[in-house]
């Protein structure tokens, strides 16, 4: 026989501590919710590598725990950062593939993530301290030819340094999705859901977003990668090679378009133009080189080949602050909406009920105020006159 739904029972809405053998006990609810929150937060959160210029001490190790604690307390902020990292990684991969050409056509999303997460450093020749290679710096190094694809960490090397693989992440997301599904099923059947389970659903929702955005991002890389840009290759970088190939292509076209000057007869009439002759044969008439736009033998294929030499400027554009504010506001509203879903929950007192309701509404108000402040700051920056 199916159990009686919650709304049909003659029991109060609030009950105290319940033992486990009688059904869903308090310990079981706390353990399920706490394990789901910790598992989703731990498996989905991805921090930055440690700064190699600072000593690796116990305090440095605790910084990762502090960042994980921040993601545990503010899951909507971590979800916003994960979406920002994914957008920047996709933009970086697109830019590097365009700038690097065929050599960097296999630049992967995992490789882009380690630069977005500031996990790659270089040692400049003029300084003993290492310098972090951020996305803009990477684009400059690749466009100047100082970094090639062989200098970058491979996907295998990144996976070897990563502390967690996709198997661990998959098990975590299965646990999180199972918990969300069970809560939805209980609500659909009219069974009670505790406030702790409501909070867990909100955290699990943000954890799923973090998992999807950070799926290709290596996790818990403590010691960063160190690359050595070759300054001697800067003169032969992709841009210089393109210019050299362009010059060679133009020279080939000009050499192939050598034609003879029209011969003048005794009566002043010009004969038909002569065909190009080999260099080892004597030529009684001077010859000139026609430009590609003048000669009819230049085909469309040649024009397309010459057009392919024109390169686009190397530029990396990350996510703007305004877009981040909008995404954070949306995540905060969704996160607060899950808490507002427990508006009519059977609280033990009226004061506790309004504390819960007021806190849920305050989350939405604060997120909208944050978006408004950032928008006004952006307008002031754009509208302010520039100093000469």
For the chain, the domains span: 26-236, 238-264+272-277+286-314, 320-383
Report the alpha-carbon distance of residue 266 to residue 92 in Å, rounded: 69
Single out the residue of 6, 26, 7 nearest to residue 18, CA to CA.
26
Contact 111, 225 (CB under 8 A): no
Residue 372 above 80 pLDDT?
no
The token pair that represents 358 in the structure block: 């007021």
pLDDT for 234 equals: 53
Q: What are phi and psi of 77, to 5 degrees?
A: -70, -40
pLDDT 10s digits, 198-251: 888 888 888 888 888 888 888 878 788 888 877 665 544 454 444 444 444 444
Contact 325, 148 (CB under 8 A): no
Q: What is the pTM of this model?
A: 0.67
Please name every residue paired with 120 in a beta bridge, in sequence order, or none if there are none. Answer: 225
Least reliable range by pLDDT among 93-97, 166-170, 334-338: 166-170
Nearest-5° Cα angle at 209, 368 to 29: 95
Contact 201, 64 (CB under 8 A): no
Per DSSP, helices labelled H in 257-349 are: 300-307, 321-340
Report the alpha-carbon distance of residue 107 to residue 149 in Å, rounded: 8
Single out the residue of 50, 72, 68, 46 nearest to residue 59, CA to CA.
50
Burial tier of 351 (Cβ tally within 10 Å: 0-12, 13-18, 19+): exposed
DSSP secondary structure letter of residue 23:
S
- State mean pLDDT over 248-263: 45
**CA 125, chain centre distance (Å):** 30
Percent helix, strand, coil in the chain, to 5, is: 55, 5, 40
The token pair that represents 18 in the structure block: 């319940």
Q: If you search the block for the tokens 């005794």, which residue do you land on?
A: 266
- State mean pLDDT over 341-360: 83
> 342 vs 47, which has greater pLDDT?
342
What Å distances lie between residue 290 and 59, 254, 261, 278, CA to CA? 72, 7, 11, 17
N- to C-terminal Cα distance for the chain? 82
């Amino acid at each position: 026989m199916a159990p009686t739904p919650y709304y049909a029972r003659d029991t109060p809405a609030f009950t105290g501590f319940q033992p486990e053998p009688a059904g869903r006990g308090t310990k079981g609810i706390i353990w399920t919710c706490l394990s789901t929150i910790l598992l989703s937060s731990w498996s989905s959160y991805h921090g930055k590598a440690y700064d190699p210029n600072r000593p690796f001490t116990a305090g440095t190790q605790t910084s990762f725990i502090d960042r994980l604690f921040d993601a545990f307390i503010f899951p909507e902020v971590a979800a916003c950062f994960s979406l920002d990292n994914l957008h920047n990684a996709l933009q970086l991969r697109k830019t590097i593939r365009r700038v690097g050409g065929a050599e960097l056509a296999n630049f992967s999303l995992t490789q882009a993530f380690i630069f977005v997460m500031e996990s790659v450093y270089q040692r400049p020749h003029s300084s003993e301290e290492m310098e972090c290679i951020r996305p803009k710096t990477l684009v400059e190094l690749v466009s100047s030819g100082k970094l090639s694809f062989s200098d970058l960490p491979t996907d295998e090397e990144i996976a070897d340094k990563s502390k967690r693989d996709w198997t661990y992440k998959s098990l975590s997301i299965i646990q999180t999705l199972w918990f969300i599904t069970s809560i939805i099923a209980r609500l659909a059947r009219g069974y009670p859901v505790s406030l702790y389970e409501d909070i867990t659903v909100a955290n699990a929702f943000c954890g799923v977003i973090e998992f999807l955005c950070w799926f290709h991002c290596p996790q818990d890389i403590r010691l960063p990668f160190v690359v050595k840009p070759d300054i001697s290759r800067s003169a032969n970088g992709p841009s210089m090679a393109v210019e050299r190939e362009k010059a060679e292509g133009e020279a080939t076209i000009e050499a192939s378009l050598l034609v003879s000057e029209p011969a003048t007869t005794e009566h002043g009439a010009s004969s038909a133009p002569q065909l190009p002759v080999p260099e080892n044969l004597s030529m009684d008439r001077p010859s000139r080189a026609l430009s590609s736009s003048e000669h009819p033998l230049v085909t469309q294929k040649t024009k397309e080949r010459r057009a392919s030499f024109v390169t686009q400027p190397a530029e990396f554009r990350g996510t703007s602050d305004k877009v981040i504010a909008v995404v954070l506001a949306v995540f905060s509203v969704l996160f607060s909406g899950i808490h507002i879903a427990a508006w009519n929950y059977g609280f033990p007192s009226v004061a506790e009920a309004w504390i819960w309701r007021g806190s849920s509404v305050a989350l939405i108000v604060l997120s909208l105020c944050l978006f408004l402040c950032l928008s006004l700051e952006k307008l002031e920056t754009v509208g302010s006159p520039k100093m000469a």
